[in-house]
Amino acid sequence: MSTRSITPHRCAVLFSILCFSGPLFASEGGANKAEAEAMVKKGVAFIKTNGEAKAYEEIIAKDPQFVDRDLYLVVYGLDGVVRAHGANKKMVGKNLMELRDVDGKEFVKERVTMAKAKPSFWQEYKFINPVTKKIEPKLMYCERLNETVVCGGIYK
């Protein structure tokens, strides 16, 4: 068995692979920002076309058009009450306005405040990834729809 020495060239190649490929490997199985935006837009359009009751039912039932790997939709009222949740139907009907992430960030309160100020936005906080079951940094894309905010997020 022959062994090769680590030359400066091989070291540089290995360094490049580790530094520049890491984010690709980390997010390979998860959704990306464009997919999150597209799903939220699809959800908003579906709610407008089919009404809240039917749309929320399909989001809660994890209809494949509203769940893709670690990407799912959630809908909050501007009062902080969950109207639909694609990962945990037990959250529906609960007021989560005071909910904090592991760093103490009141992300639902922040989301509602942002929704009142902007028609669409990205928000950062930490949340449990439904695929890995670990707390991870999350980016949530949201659009306001009447007195609700429709969101879908990705894990970094």
Domain positions in the chain are 30-155
pTM for the complete prediction? 0.79
Average pLDDT over residues 10-37: 51
Mean pLDDT, residues 6-30: 36
Percentage of the chain exceeding pLDDT 90: 74
Specify the higher pLDDT residue, 29 or 150: 150
To the nearest 10°, the Cα dihedral for 133, 19, 153, 39?
-120
CATH class label, 30-155? alpha beta
Tokens of 73: 């939709």
